[in-house]
Structure 1
Amino acid sequence: MSSRRRRLLRSLLPFVLLTLGSAYALASWNWCGRWTERPPVVLGQARAEGAWRAGAAKVPLKPPYPVVVAGYAPPRPEASQADPAPQARAVVLAAGDVKVGLVSLELLLVPDELVAAVRQRTAGLGLRGVVVTATHSHSSFGGYDARWVSQLAGTGRFREDALEAAVAGACEALRQAAARLTEVSLEVGESKDPVLVRSRAGGEIPDGALTRAVLRGAEGPVAELLVFAAHPTVVPRQRAVVDPDWPGRLSQLREEKGGVVLVLQGTVGNVSVSYGQGEGAALALSFAQAVSGLAERAVPVPVAGSTRLGFARVEVALPRPDASRLVPSYSRAAGDNFLCASASRTAEVGALALGPLELLLLPGEPTVGVGALLAPRTGATRVLGLADGYVGYVETPEKVRTNEGEGRRQYFGPTLLERLGSGAELAARAAGFTP
């Protein structure tokens, strides 16, 4: 290197250091500000008793190909086809003059913007409540979440047309389901196989429980709700094909018997590493077949004497985001700012009562430990995740404080569960859960 170039570099060094220092100071400034703490607020509630009616539909989602395959950190492949195609599946439940819509999308998650758009566009259907859930398929399409942290961590670069594809599919499924209401009976069954699932991140061990609710009409099943928890990460992350993983295959298998089948994620577990043979799509099908067999063993029993339908949704104030477990200490403030820019200051917790089935709805990924705390606290028979928004993992306060389990990945501090839990209690009471 010539002496002239060395002198030039030495002269530029102070400016470079000043620029870096200024950038660090700017990123470390407290852009989050103060986050208001307030009691939870009921946003909507409805209760009714009487003969049940239900309608169901499924509609293919039409991603704007080529589209990013979501579910993992970069680099992400782009897909120009799907195999099998991701779906939107909906059921509209009715009793008396109360109608509630439930739509399940074969996507990684459902952000607030998506949920709000679906509710706005289906306002004319006369639904007292609309619940939007995701199957959490890690190999479906992305691009529909505008939040920075989601774009970086899972869904890829935001595209309006990707969001529109998800919203349009959900709305059309709800419209078709609402137009097909017919009298139904309710049947509920449960079964369990711990071999199918394992714990995530060293947390509590899932019990492999499956809840099966069948809404049966005069000509056969109208809809089937399957509550089961196992991360859909079976399909390889670098496969350049949109794929709904095992939940999509499970719904297809069950629908051969009639009706529309919605797969709802419970408190999180992983597909067992000791289960099944093969890999990728073949293993996803094999796992779906095993869960379908588990559903068959959950022999549904007709529900007699309980014809209630209850629904409530509650808004809670979220705690300030906390990146202390996610980034090095020297970049803590910058990490907090990044999370703040991606986080809503509120979240929604819901409750749905269908006869004896009382479902608590959380906007994230509650762990097994969280479910064990919230179920007795609210009276819920099952705790569901990935519903009506996404706040990331929800772990017990103890594990967040000690940086264990999914606490290592939680976007908020240890007070998150208490905020959501207070809202859950209020939602459960408003929906008429049995104490």
Structure 2
Amino acid sequence: MAIRRRYLRSLLPFALLTAGAAYALASWNWCGRWEESAPVLRGQARAEGALRAGAAKVVLPPPFPVVVAGYPPPRPNASQADPPLHARAVILQAGETRVGLVSLELLSVTGPMVAQIRERASDLGLHGVLVFASHTHSSFGGYDGRLVAQLVGTGRYRESAVDTAVSAASEALHQAAAALADVTLEVGRAAEPGLVLTRSGGETPDGALTRVVLRGASSPVAELLLFAAHPTMVPRQREYVDPDYPGRLSELREAQGGVVLVLQGAVGNASVAFNEGQGVERATAFAQALSGLVDRASPMATPGPTRLAVARAEVALPRPDASRLVPVLTRAAGDNFLCHSAARVAEVSALALGPLELITLPGEPTTGAGQVLAGRTGATGVLGLSGDYLGYMETPELVAQGAGESRRQYYGSSLLERLGAAAQLAAEAAGFTPEP
């Protein structure tokens, strides 16, 4: 026994040296230099005239068996979809300007996925393709190759998961393009603050819903429903993929005609405040409550020629910052871990449709962040989960305090300022009307 103790004591310096070397190695600046640059405009198109639209809905079939995304491990595996998942697309055209919108019933979308969707739609003459995730936390994963994403939410990367999403989105866009018809534009709004709450402080979400109806000669061609609340109503360990309340709401409204896209607004700190039903029944009941709110958002027709514009701006992102995410002694290692998965540039888009002026962001802006961006650009709304996933976007004040959703923000405090500069450039290119 004494020999064993002496042997273990002899190993202690070696163990400490090894641990110190590992700590030093992990703390080395592996991120390199992060360049700063002004945002650059990557594309724009504007027109005004008679509006045409086409829409389509196709099944989004997971490559079963598949991991259920949305939460950290342990995650269940699914071999069934209940209800089925879908990809939905709307194509808008005024004059020579044509824009595609895609909604996928996924937790998020990625830059490589969006690039492939745009490539497959290159034959459609689109001046912009905006791809959104419904942000359901019970859909399938495996489509994000970044290490942080695989660990935190989407599970082990599988190329088949990407192929499934890209194929469904491409098919929906092509079917929508083949169905283009003359439409009128109707816009309505309603709010029910009691349906949502803030989960982390900051500005309180207002429960506002914007309803956009693209009405054909005899029935709606499509509807866009803009709302913000995390789709986390389906039980975490359920062994099915499920579209949560956005998919159920779309199905309810589609029974009345047209294809319905539910797009998330400033969802970063917005949670559902609704306690009717249990399990998946709760998601169904909430979709029914939201459908009632949609009915209250009585849309009004917008007279005359319709304005349609789209613009995309690219901006360099600030260096990742793990100071709010990990203990202080492991901050450098945390920064290195984030850098391995962090994008260095981001795309921000502006979309004008009649009286609507929308900014789209690649992540989850909070209510407060959305208000900052709307004030800076004159936008009537801010949409998240578009084009890629960069994590949460909180106001600089709350980032400085380590409060709100900043505890989940991957980048430094200048993130919103960088994105705001890109949003302003895109908004100007799209002809947004600035607030007085």
Question: So what's the TM-score if we normalise by structure 1?
Answer: 0.97
What SS does the corresponding residue of 2:329 show, helix, strand or coil? helix
Query: In the alignment, which residue of structure 2 is the partner of 1:276?
Result: 275
Q: C-alpha distance in 2, partners of 1:22/1:165?
A: 44
Query: In the alignment, which residue of structure 2 is the partner of 1:298?
Result: 297
Query: In the alignment, which residue of structure 2 is the partner of 1:48?
Result: 47
What SS does the corresponding residue of 1:358 show, helix, strand or coil? strand
1:369 and 2:375 correspond = no
Q: C-alpha distance in 2, partners of 1:384/1:428?
A: 14
**Shift in Å at residue 306 of structure 1?**
4.3
Note the 1:212-227 alignment, pairs <5 A. 212-227=211-226
1:243 and 2:242 correspond = yes
What SS does the corresponding residue of 1:43 show, helix, strand or coil? strand
Q: C-alpha distance in 2, partners of 1:372/1:34?
A: 31
Q: Name which of structure 1's ranges 309-318 and 375-384 shifts more when overlaid on structure 2.
A: 375-384
**Shift in Å at residue 117 of structure 1?**
1.2
Q: C-alpha distance in 1, partners of 2:171/2:14?
A: 57
1:255-301 deviation per Cα after TM superposition (whole angstroms, max 9, x unaligned): 0000000000011254444x232222100000000111100110010
Query: In the alignment, which residue of structure 1 is the partner of 2:307?
Result: 308
Letter matched to residue 297 of structure 2 = A
Letter matched to residue 260 of structure 1 = V
Letter matched to residue 375 of structure 1 = A
Say how many residue pairs are matched.
433
Query: In the alignment, which residue of structure 2 is the partner of 1:84?
Result: 83
Letter matched to residue 370 of structure 1 = A
1:174 and 2:176 correspond = no
Q: Name which of structure 1's ranges 57-66 and 317-326 shifts more when overlaid on structure 2.
A: 57-66
Query: In the alignment, which residue of structure 2 is the partner of 1:348?
Result: 347
Instruction: In structure 2, list runs of 5 or more residues that go unmatched.
Output: none
**Shift in Å at residue 199 of structure 1?**
0.9
Q: C-alpha distance in 2, partners of 1:219/1:425?
A: 39
Note the 1:48-127 alignment, pairs <5 A. 48-127=47-126
Quick check: 2:51–2:305 contact (8 Å CA) kept in 1? no
1:432 and 2:431 correspond = yes
Q: Name which of structure 1's ranges 395-404 and 262-271 shifts more when overlaid on structure 2.
A: 262-271
Letter matched to residue 334 of structure 1 = A
**Shift in Å at residue 22 of structure 1?**
2.1
What SS does the corresponding residue of 1:37 show, helix, strand or coil? coil
1:84-142 deviation per Cα after TM superposition (whole angstroms, max 9, x unaligned): 11111100111111111000011111111111111112111111100000010001111
Quick check: 1:89–1:262 contact (8 Å CA) kept in 2? yes
What SS does the corresponding residue of 1:213 show, helix, strand or coil? strand
Quick check: 1:306–1:356 contact (8 Å CA) kept in 2? no
Letter matched to residue 237 of structure 2 = Q
1:408 and 2:407 correspond = yes
Q: C-alpha distance in 1, partners of 2:168/2:13?
A: 55
Query: In the alignment, which residue of structure 1 is the partner of 2:198?
Result: 199
Instruction: In structure 1, list runs of 5 or more residues that go unmatched.
Output: none
Quick check: 2:270–2:366 contact (8 Å CA) kept in 1? no
Quick check: 1:212–1:295 contact (8 Å CA) kept in 2? yes
What SS does the corresponding residue of 1:172 show, helix, strand or coil? helix
RMSD: 1.2
Query: In the alignment, which residue of structure 1 is the partner of 2:163?
Result: 164
**Shift in Å at residue 219 of structure 1?**
2.5
Q: Percent identity, aligned pairs only? A: 68
Q: C-alpha distance in 1, partners of 2:159/2:7?
A: 46
Q: C-alpha distance in 2, partners of 1:12/1:179?
A: 72
**Shift in Å at residue 5 of structure 1?**
4.0
Q: C-alpha distance in 2, partners of 1:203/1:303?
A: 35
**Shift in Å at residue 20 of structure 1?**
2.4
1:42-67 deviation per Cα after TM superposition (whole angstroms, max 9, x unaligned): 01100011111111011111111111
Letter matched to residue 299 of structure 2 = P
Letter matched to residue 406 of structure 1 = E
What SS does the corresponding residue of 1:327 show, helix, strand or coil? coil
**Shift in Å at residue 404 of structure 1?**
0.8
What SS does the corresponding residue of 2:92 show, helix, strand or coil? strand
Quick check: 1:195–1:272 contact (8 Å CA) kept in 2? no
1:351-405 deviation per Cα after TM superposition (whole angstroms, max 9, x unaligned): 1001111111011111111111111211111111101111111000000000111
Quick check: 1:45–1:128 contact (8 Å CA) kept in 2? yes
Query: In the alignment, which residue of structure 2 is the partner of 1:288?
Result: 287
What SS does the corresponding residue of 2:211 show, helix, strand or coil? strand
**Shift in Å at residue 4 of structure 1?**
4.7
What SS does the corresponding residue of 2:162 show, helix, strand or coil? helix
